[in-house]
Amino acid sequence: MKRHLLFAAFVLFSALGYANISLYSPDKQLNLTFKVSEDGEPVYALSYKNKPVIKESKMGFHIQWSTPLAHDFTIVDATQNSVDHTWETVWGENRFIRNHYNELVVKLKQKETNRILLITFRLFNDGLGFRYDFPMQDNLLHFIIQEEITQFNLTGDHTAFWLPGDYDTNEYPTTISKLSEINQLIDKVREEPLAAKSFTPNLAIQTPLLLKSDNGLYINIHEAALVNFAAMQLNVDDLNFQLSAHLVPDFRGNKVYAQTGDRSPWRTIIVSDDARDILASNLILNLNEPCKIEDFSWIKPMKYIGVWWEYFTGGGSSWSYTKHQGIRIGETDYSKLTPSGKHGATTENVKYHIDFAAKHGFDAVLVEGWNEGWEDNVAFVKDEIYNFTKPYPDFDVKKLRQYASEKGIVLIMHHETTSAVISYERQLDTAFRFMVTHGYPAVKTGYVGPIIPRSEHHDGQWMVNHYNRVIEKAAEYKIMVNSHESVRPTGLCRTYPNWLAAESARGTEFESFRGNHPNHTTILPFTRLVGGPMDYTPGIFEGDLSIYGSNPAKLSSTLVKQLALYVIMYSPLQMAADLPVNYEKHPDAFQFIKDVAVDWDTTCILEAEPGDFITIARKARGKDEWFIGSITDEHARETVISFSFLKPGKQYELTLYADGDNAHWQDNPKSYSVKNMKITSKTKLKQKIAAGGGMSARIR
Amino acid sequence: MKRHLLFAAFVLFSALGYANISLYSPDKQLNLTFKVSEDGEPVYALSYKNKPVIKESKMGFHIQWSTPLAHDFTIVDATQNSVDHTWETVWGENRFIRNHYNELVVKLKQKETNRILLITFRLFNDGLGFRYDFPMQDNLLHFIIQEEITQFNLTGDHTAFWLPGDYDTNEYPTTISKLSEINQLIDKVREEPLAAKSFTPNLAIQTPLLLKSDNGLYINIHEAALVNFAAMQLNVDDLNFQLSAHLVPDFRGNKVYAQTGDRSPWRTIIVSDDARDILASNLILNLNEPCKIEDFSWIKPMKYIGVWWEYFTGGGSSWSYTKHQGIRIGETDYSKLTPSGKHGATTENVKYHIDFAAKHGFDAVLVEGWNEGWEDNVAFVKDEIYNFTKPYPDFDVKKLRQYASEKGIVLIMHHETTSAVISYERQLDTAFRFMVTHGYPAVKTGYVGPIIPRSEHHDGQWMVNHYNRVIEKAAEYKIMVNSHESVRPTGLCRTYPNWLAAESARGTEFESFRGNHPNHTTILPFTRLVGGPMDYTPGIFEGDLSIYGSNPAKLSSTLVKQLALYVIMYSPLQMAADLPVNYEKHPDAFQFIKDVAVDWDTTCILEAEPGDFITIARKARGKDEWFIGSITDEHARETVISFSFLKPGKQYELTLYADGDNAHWQDNPKSYSVKNMKITSKTKLKQKIAAGGGMSARIR
């Protein structure tokens, strides 16, 4: 791993008391100030190009049965460092990432209690990260955080791209409104039917939150390295445009069970006046710990198909083997039950998918509904629903392993838990051992519905620890993980690159329920994907689900936009989600999905405006081959692409996948053209994109 | 296994509608009536010798988001059976137990919903058991029980031997009062400092509840076979003297997560006008399922000593190896930490205990504080406290195994969880495997403090399932279990005889905190022990703890009463709880502890009055040898023992352990005499028992 390391540490201050401390980003565009107020409250502020981004904002914590760690502080020490080095990714949007920041570490002492709190600020050219450390000390040991005080005082009534505050789901559509409009919109948004919802009692929204100020500043607020802490949502004070940390509680109202030696995640603020910088930012990855997996040779980006979409189309295929509900796992002999005849994960059907995957050069096949228990898959009252080592009678694990292996395909295991999480933890070791025994290198986990333990929410500390525990345990077994309905990522895929992807937002599956807005995928890269790869599962060619039965759902995208998503929605794990039969009808368009890379050397954000459009070019890792994706919202537009990112003087062949002239996501989504052309780094391409449409290209 | 089986089934009724159904006990002394009221409510009543015990009382359930299973019923079927057979115990107070009852099974149908509820009544000569079945049916599948309605309408203001309703502890002292007095006493009782307390919001008390009516009737209300259900406490209506089921909820207020196919535990009412019949009753064992462990040859009653009491005396010995709190298990190398020098579970100290155990014929040595994590043993906020497979650096597992084995002693493992139960469940398999690897045949489990998962209480459904899961899992590994701070037993030791004992009430350890009342052990056999053996840990010879340091605690019993407890407080697992050094000072009294059996062929309850005195004689299993124990409360008394239980015409040698003439629990507890005499079945022995004293005897 190539590293350029520059490390300069210098102590600036001592016994500063109430001094104002100032820190600049390496390029001097960002300025952080820190002080303690007259009441001894820690206060920070952030400006960009001499304009305030975050006005003076308080920091600290409320602690159960104790003095708040929030006032009465003096600064007893302050240290500044500069760091500049470059690290290599195991996989990613870029092979090398520069980690370049100036750091300020402030040591605070509370006068009456003598308790110590450290705050570390890291100021990058693209934003700020800060975190709290609770060092070991005599006057504090175990404690319960009742609330984090951290404020984000904004300068005005910015436009927000928001999800309503909710402890159990991040699958709402994004609403775009002024901060002052959230209050009047939120009740309606919360009507969205989702499997588990737990509204915040007050006005709050979720992170990653994108804001756009009236003067064109883009601000992303999120967190990095969420470990042993509750996820942070944001209270909204819509009179003062003040956001503040709202940690996800357990059912007792406690936020974090902590002890000294613990630290908070990083609170992150990415800032730019160019929207493309938000997408290009590596701030969150940089704030995470380096890879903890020594031998990561077994971690491989993958393209996969699955026995999956057929459960959503309305065609009648089912996860469960029988129609008997109320089965007791471990006490029931499934081979004696009558099959429903609708079961999807049969040996035959999986073989058919293996054949298709092998024929078209995929790496893997995901199979959902292979194991005992699916009959009660929405029985949220059950402690024990699934057996993760017992396949249904019509799913032959050994035979399929053999068959897949002969065809060069691996199978992806599925562990839906229906959020009966303790049951999953009990079985985790045996389940992973079962995977190793049967040659499964990857697992998709799922957390539909309310959590058991019933004191917990999807985004609370206990579940955060669970997701991380699964990742660490999976690493021990050399298993890659794709988690669904988990807490939204915070860059931990740097530390655990076996965490290939997460869903953790409204994915393609919703196209079969209530649909996604055409602007949905022009927002997600600014919000959800800031924390890490998303298993969005693109590639639906047949968007009219009424052909399968009575499902009236229609895809909110043209066919070509589906192709472009393989470039736009970055993930080292990409699914071709549609049924094989639909790909066979469009072999020329399907060719793009077959060709597109899933791991990259370089990424260039060419155009971007949240909610409107995004154009990205990426160079395949280790190849002189580029792929371009461009998408728009419900409005048609023209993209203008300059190929200046290519090597000068060299001629490339470009295969262009474009919406047809009359293509439209609503009426005419499947109109497209494929054509080849020669280009150089000096070529400019103007290309019309249909309403709800896209463009994609392969360049060799 | 010897069995006398008489089984007569006869259908009595069909399409009964609202008829009154009557059932008699085999001896006709008890009469049960059942009917549905005009509103279709199930109603039962119980009488004894033609006098009402339980007046007409409603039955049924409130169900979340659904019609209550409580009214609108008609009787669609009623069947009566008679059963009379005898079964052999794996261990117990008696080798053979007669199971003799008349049974009524009522099938109820709810008119509007068409839902079916079954109620089964079993009427024995010594009481009634009844339970609810929720059979599989079209109109009910998964459901949540919000409350059980079952009433126990008493005939008057009985005297109750009660613990206050509490979801997390059964370690309160027993209060004796009229039902009408509970309300004015309960707040004071609840001030008792205990590690985890969760009061019922209303006036409620716990089971096993003993009641005594003004006309001399003894009534014990409890439950049998508590499986996949919340424990039942009892609401108290002190105007109408009505008790009713109060199931222990989770933090959402839900009581039981159920599905059709499930059933409730048995609700039990043991009744007699002779207090001895309450102690002699096997009704609760009879209502439990037969032994599920096919090969139980590895299950062995045991007498043990332990590295235990030294932690309570105030002498300075400590469970933890270091003084560092806040250690992170799995991330810390204990061998690099400074030992406190006070650690009890050192290799040397355990060897000393093994030597003592071997010398005096004990089977086992319990060692507490052997594993990593004890530094945070009361850090109730921690998810992960203990490592159950990592001994402290000064505890050599292999060496001790070898040493114990050479001396014919086994070691008892200790798994204190501090109620971080999910952590324990995660480690359960590896912990039990570790025990098997290192030759531990038994484990003492502990659940001090509030439960994690934080939605749960000690006595709620989730924890009930946990305790049972541990027992079943332990059986797989051929491990015997002694659970502390678990839910009070309900006879499941019949089904899982590897559940040797539980604490689950105020044990001897409280003698080192706030003490036990001298009447305490004259009550427990009528209450707590009705459900199964208690690891009371008797045998404290040195009751003045001030000799060790600054602990002012004094034992509430004479030395001889401590001996008598080995007979009175039945358990197949009996500890000699005091320090070896104290036994060495009284070798003649200690001889009784060495001699006393822990498994019995026959038990004769000679005298009994709850709160006052108990005298029991038991015949050692497989030997012509008897042991007698007699205890009194704070009042001195004279016991008169007739030996008519002995074989006529044979002469026996009796060794009598008696309080000294001036013995008194407060001033002179260690005054005692040991003498031998010859007796026959015709001998009558009058023996004075000191205040807070006892008497014990061995008969050969």
Element (H, E) at A36: strand A30-36
pLDDT in the model for residue B255 = 98
Nearest to B566 by CA among B611, B535, B530: B535
Whole-number Å distance between alpha carbons of B550 and B283: 46
Question: To probe the interface with B, which of A138, A251, A451, A454 has the most B CB atoms within 10 Å?
Answer: A454
Query: Would residue B174 be called left, alpha or beta, if left means φ above 0 and alpha means ψ between -120 and 50 degrees?
Result: beta
Stretch B50-72: mean pLDDT, rounded?
96
> What is the band of A17 on the pLDDT scale with cuts at 50, 70, 90?
low
CB A444 within 8 A of CB A412: yes
Stretch A429-453: mean pLDDT, rounded?
97
Whole-number Å distance between alpha carbons of B542 and B526: 27
Strand order in the sheet with B232-237: B21-24, B30-36, B42-48, B51-58, B151-153, B242-247, B232-237, B204-205
Whole-number Å distance between alpha carbons of A471 and A686: 44
Distance from CA of A456 to the nearest CA of B (A): 8
DSSP label at residue A309: G
The two three-digit tokens of residue B48, written as one number: 């004894």
Give the residue on A whose Cα is nearest the Cα of B255: A381
Check whether B14 has a pLDDT greater than 60.
no
Whole-number Å distance between alpha carbons of A501 and A488: 10
Q: Give me the catalytic one of B41, B485, B509, B511.
A: B509
Whole-number Å distance between alpha carbons of B160 and B175: 8
pLDDT in the model for residue B2 = 36
DSSP label at residue A339: B
Distances, alpha carbon A281 to alpha carbons A168, A218, A271, A600, in Å: 28, 12, 9, 15
**Would the CB atoms of B136 and A326 count as touching at under 8 Å?**
yes
> What average pLDDT does chain A have?
96
Give the residue on A whose Cα is nearest the Cα of B140: A326
Check whether A5 has a pLDDT greater than 50.
no
> What is the band of B281 on the pLDDT scale with cuts at 50, 70, 90?
very high
CB contacts of A465 in chain B (<8 Å) are 383
Q: Find how far residue B299's CA is from the centre of its chain.
A: 19
pLDDT in the model for residue A4 = 40
**Would the CB atoms of B326 and A141 count as touching at under 8 Å?**
yes
Find the range with the poorest average confidence among A264-273, B79-88, B328-337, B654-663. B328-337
Distance from CA of A556 to the nearest CA of B (A): 37
Check whether A7 has a pLDDT greater than 70.
no
Q: Hey, which residues of A are catalytic here?
A: 509
Check whether A9 has a pLDDT greater than 80.
no
Where are the strands (E) in A478-636, listed by range?
A: 480-484, 499-502, 573-575, 600-609, 613-620, 626-632
Whole-number Å distance between alpha carbons of B567 and B308: 22
Count of alpha carbons within 13 angstroms of residue A220, beta-carbon side: 32
Residue A139 CB coordination number (10 Å): 11
Whole-number Å distance between alpha carbons of B58 and B122: 17
Nearest to B375 by CA among B421, B327, B343, B336: B327
Q: What is the pLDDT of residues B454-468, one digit of tens each?
A: 999 999 999 999 999
Is the alpha carbon torsion for A455, A459, A463, A465 positive or negative?
negative
Count of alpha carbons within 13 angstroms of residue A20, beta-carbon side: 6
Q: What is the DSSP string of B456-520?
A: --TTSHHHHHHHHHHHHHHHHTT-EEEEES-PPP-STTTT-TTEEEE--S--GGGGGTT---TTH
- What phi, psi does B334 have (nearest 5°)? -60, -30
Instruction: Please name the member of B136, B382, B455 whose beta carbon is closest to the beta carbon of A257.
Output: B382
Going by C-beta distance under 8 Å and a sequence separation of 6 or more, which residues neighbour residue A492?
A: A225, A226, A227, A288, A468, A471, A499, A532
Distance from CA of B452 to the nearest CA of A (A): 9
A319-344 exposure pattern, b = at least 16 Cβ within 10 A, e = fewer: bbbbeebbbebeebebeebebeeebb
Residue B513 CB coordination number (10 Å): 15
Return the CA Rg of chain B.
25
pLDDT in the model for residue B671 = 98
The two three-digit tokens of residue B628, written as one number: 């007698």
CB contacts of A376 in chain B (<8 Å) are 142
Residue B696 bridge partners (DSSP): B629, B657
Q: What is the pLDDT of residues B301-346, one digit of tens each?
A: 999 999 999 999 999 999 999 999 888 888 899 999 999 999 999 9
Contacts within 8 Å (CB) and 24+ apart, A587-594: A588/A674, A589/A541, A589/A559, A589/A560, A589/A563, A589/A657, A589/A672, A589/A674, A590/A360, A590/A541, A591/A674, A592/A563, A592/A566, A592/A655, A592/A657, A592/A696, A592/A698, A593/A303, A593/A539, A593/A563, A593/A566, A594/A360, A594/A361, A594/A362
Whole-number Å distance between alpha carbons of A541 and B60: 55
**Would the CB atoms of A425 and B422 count as touching at under 8 Å?**
yes
pLDDT in the model for residue B17 = 63
For residue B696, give the 3-state DSSP assignment.
strand
Stretch B628-648: mean pLDDT, rounded?
97
Pairing of strands A209-212, A218-224: antiparallel
Give the residue on A whose Cα is nearest the Cα of B145: A381
For residue A278, give the 3-state DSSP assignment.
helix
- The pTM of this model reads 0.94
Instruction: Please name the member of B144, B379, B454 whose beta carbon is closest to the beta carbon of A250.
Output: B454
pLDDT in the model for residue B19 = 77
> What is the band of B1 on the pLDDT scale with cuts at 50, 70, 90?
very low
Whole-number Å distance between alpha carbons of B506 and A346: 56
Stretch B624-652: mean pLDDT, rounded?
97
Stretch A691-696: mean pLDDT, rounded?
98
Whole-number Å distance between alpha carbons of A694 and A500: 26
Q: What is the pLDDT of residues B487-521, one digit of tens each?
A: 999 999 999 999 999 999 999 999 999 899 999 99
Residues of B with CB under 8 A from a CB of A: 136, 141-144, 250-252, 254, 257-261, 325-326, 328, 376, 379, 381-383, 422, 425-426, 428-429, 453-456, 462, 465
pLDDT in the model for residue A18 = 64
Stretch B347-363: mean pLDDT, rounded?
98
Q: What percent of chain B has pLDDT over 90?
A: 94
Stretch A417-434: mean pLDDT, rounded?
96
Where are the strands (E) in B559-625, listed by range?
A: 573-575, 600-609, 613-620
Total number of residues shown for chain A: 700
Going by C-beta distance under 8 Å and a sequence separation of 6 or more, which residues neighbour residue A498?
A: A293, A296, A299, A471, A474, A475, A478, A479, A480, A481
Q: What is the pLDDT of residues A102-137, one digit of tens each?
A: 999 999 999 999 999 999 999 999 999 999 999 999
**Would the CB atoms of B142 and A379 count as touching at under 8 Å?**
yes
Instruction: Please name the member of A260, A261, A454 whose beta carbon is closest to the beta carbon of B252.
Output: A454
Check whether A19 has a pLDDT greater than 70.
yes
Q: What is the pLDDT of residues B370-405, one digit of tens each?
A: 999 999 998 888 999 999 999 999 999 999 999 999
pLDDT in the model for residue B381 = 86
pLDDT in the model for residue A65 = 87
pLDDT in the model for residue B3 = 38
